[in-house]
Structure 1
Amino acid sequence: MDTRVKGRMTLMLALSVSFAITALTAIFLSHYFAQKQFQMLGNVCGQVMERCPDSKHVILEVLKKREAFAAVTVSENILTSFGYRSWDFLTVGPMAIGGAAVGLGAGIFLFLYRLQYGRRKMEERINMLTGYLAKINTGGKGLLWDRWEDEFSGLQDEIYKTVTMLYQTRDRALAARNNYAENLANIAHQLKTPITALSLAVQMMKEQPSADYPERMKRQLDRMTRLEESLLLLSRIDSGTLMLKRTHVDVFTVLTLASDQLQELFVQSEVNVDIPEMGGADIFVDLDWTMEAIMNLMKNCIEASEAKAVVHCAYEKNPLYVQIRIWDEGKGFAREDIIRLFERFYRGRNRKTDGIGIGLPLAKAIVEMQEGVLSAYNLMEGGACFEIRFYPPREGLR
């Protein structure tokens, strides 16, 4: 109900009460003044009769001219002995009673009209909310645009919140179903390649037992093992069952330990790593899983680098966050790849190795679990750069 309608209803209710009070006041005052008039006239007649006893018949004759008025019982008044009451001498009585009746009737009418109007509006509101829910239950869509301020406003807000939450839940369920189907298709595709390679290797082993087929089979089995481990880790992250043991760790220590784990890959690829010490900068993270995320980023930079190239690392701390940058000297990301880098099973155009496309999504998930943000972009001078920002932990985690 808008402000103007609500104001009119309040005015009508106030008028109805005012009319009723006016009518009751008019009746009371009429009765009061009639009583005073009756008392005064009785006193006058009593004084006259005391002084002139023979005037009784004259007074009675004069008073009989007002016999048309209704009688009201009043005690201890000489006029009562003649059958007269206070209302018999109320000359304004009919007007007062008529005005009081009109005021009382108008008040009652407005009050009943207000009740009927409120009932009708209540039925309209109930029908509107019921129709809205029926529409939603049959699969329709709609919004409660009417913003009335009445006793149903709270119920309307709660219904709207509930329906909005149901829409969001449905959308999330549909997105999860689509992601499940897409992930299942990607997993099947990833498994298809090593299984096919293994089948071919088994067939070729029968014809050429002396070839290096066992080594090929081992590589495919290793790939399947990595895929299995990555999928299990992602499933734990998605379900929220991956437990992190977070402590305050120096960034330089994390970068150094991660590069040490990849030392063999750096040597094999003939790529160097540069990690300058840039002062103390602590982050509140799980050391092992953060190393895993940074190792995946370094692997990506190694794969994009030529021999004799360098993978660079840098970090800095400011009042808002700790920033870590890892970049290479390669060709950078393809323009169409940047927006999809962190999609699961997505493989960029410039990749040189036969990866499965899980390393970057895994790194992003680990970083985001620790109040961090991971992004990627191309440098102006060439090369791809990964940027991590770790924000201060919430009060309950420190």
Structure 2
Amino acid sequence: MKKLEKVSFDIDRIMDGDYSTISNIDEEGILSRLESQFCQMSRRLQLSIDSINIEKEEVKSLVTDISHQIRTPLASIKMFNSLLIEGGLTKGEKEEFLERVKDEVEKLEWLANSLVKISTTESGMIQIKKEKEDVKQTILEAVNGVYLEALEKNIDINMSNLESIYVYHDFRWTKEAIFNILDNAVKYTDENGQINISMEKLETYIKIDIEDNGIGIPSKDIGKIFDRFYRGDSEKAKKAEGSGIGLYLARNILEEQGGGLIVSSEEGQGSKFTILITLQNY
């Protein structure tokens, strides 16, 4: 009877939202096994709840950060718009203010795109469709996406050993992954820097190295850079625009296709990201 009362108590506790660990059971018998199963279920529920709470905090932090970033360009647009409406500006001033408004609108668009990518990642909506495509072309398309940003900072993007190799991969999402890595490299590389891209065909993978001479990654952060929403603590890292999802998304995309993403870096010396794309035909 005491056993039944204990099991009933445990059930009531779980139903009331208390998922704390139930004491381990050493005795044998049906009731003991039942109580043990409740113990295991309770632990799993608690782990799930903890995970959900952590994710909620991460999302809350991100939304707060993006909300703060949105307020700044909106305030700027409002101010420039008011000045343009009031009139009395020279032609040069009008052109400058209109250009500034354009820049702020582009920033808002970038923030909106970040939210869409987060939503896609979190909801598991990334659907990989692998077809036989030229990896070289995938790389070149990704490079085109960061070309202007690199040009503005006078960063040289050097490509070597790129050859047309047709392998099964999702062109769109793989391009997105490579773009995210390149975009990260441009953001964290100072003016007049360099980014080197090379490709090598191995026995089972295509290996793509993207190496920069930027600010590098502190050793304490290496294990965190692929975490969702993570951004570095250094002043340069904080100043660089970003939502902290680019590398997280890149690794997920590559791993979904049987590949991977590896990083090696030294603070102040730059970083190297190694992309692996499987040669298996599936």
Match of 2:64 among 171, 185, 189: 185
1:128 paired to 2:13 = no
TM-score (norm: length of structure 2): 0.78
1:344 paired to 2:229 = yes
| Structure 1 counterpart of 2:178 | 294
1:160 paired to 2:39 = yes
Match of 2:271 among 367, 384, 393: 384
> Aligned pair in 2 of structure 1 residues 373, 178: CA closer, same or farther (>3 Å)?
same
> Aligned pair in 2 of structure 1 residues 295, 324: CA closer, same or farther (>3 Å)?
same
| Structure 2 counterpart of 1:113 | none
> Aligned pair in 2 of structure 1 residues 304, 357: CA closer, same or farther (>3 Å)?
same
CA offset at residue 258 of structure 1?
A: 1.9
* 1:224-243 alignment runs, 5 A limit: 224-243=108-127
Matches of 2:2 and 2:221, distance apart in 1:
55
Report the identity percentage: 21
> Aligned pair in 2 of structure 1 residues 143, 382: CA closer, same or farther (>3 Å)?
same
Matches of 1:228 and 1:309, distance apart in 2:
29
Q: 2:269 is matched by which residue type in structure 1?
A: G
| Structure 2 counterpart of 1:310 | 194
Q: Are the equivalent residues in 1 in contact too, given 2:142–2:179 (CA < 8 A)?
A: yes
Aligned length: 273
* Higher relative contact order (CA closer than 8 Å, sequence separation 6+): 2
Q: Are the equivalent residues in 2 in contact too, given 1:304–1:352 (CA < 8 A)?
A: no
Of structures 1 and 2, the larger Rg is shown by 1
CA offset at residue 168 of structure 1?
A: 2.7
Measured against aligned partners, the alpha-carbon deviations of 1:56-109 in whole angstroms (never above 9, x if no partner) come to xxxxxxxxxxxxxxxxxxxxxxxxxxxxxxxxxxxxxxxxxxxxxxxxxxxxxx
Give 3-state SS (helix, strand or coil) of 2:210's partner. strand
Matches of 1:127 and 1:281, distance apart in 2:
68
Q: Which runs of 5+ in 1 are unaligned?
A: 1-122
Measured against aligned partners, the alpha-carbon deviations of 1:197-245 in whole angstroms (never above 9, x if no partner) come to 1122223333653311111011100110111122112202211223332
Q: Are the equivalent residues in 1 in contact too, given 2:137–2:164 (CA < 8 A)?
A: no
Matches of 1:357 and 1:236, distance apart in 2:
14
1:331 paired to 2:215 = yes
Match of 2:159 among 275, 291, 294: 275
Match of 1:366 among 236, 246, 253: 253
TM-score (norm: length of structure 1): 0.58
CA offset at residue 184 of structure 1?
A: 2.0
Matches of 1:269 and 1:333, distance apart in 2:
20
> Aligned pair in 2 of structure 1 residues 349, 384: CA closer, same or farther (>3 Å)?
farther
Matches of 1:128 and 1:317, distance apart in 2:
62
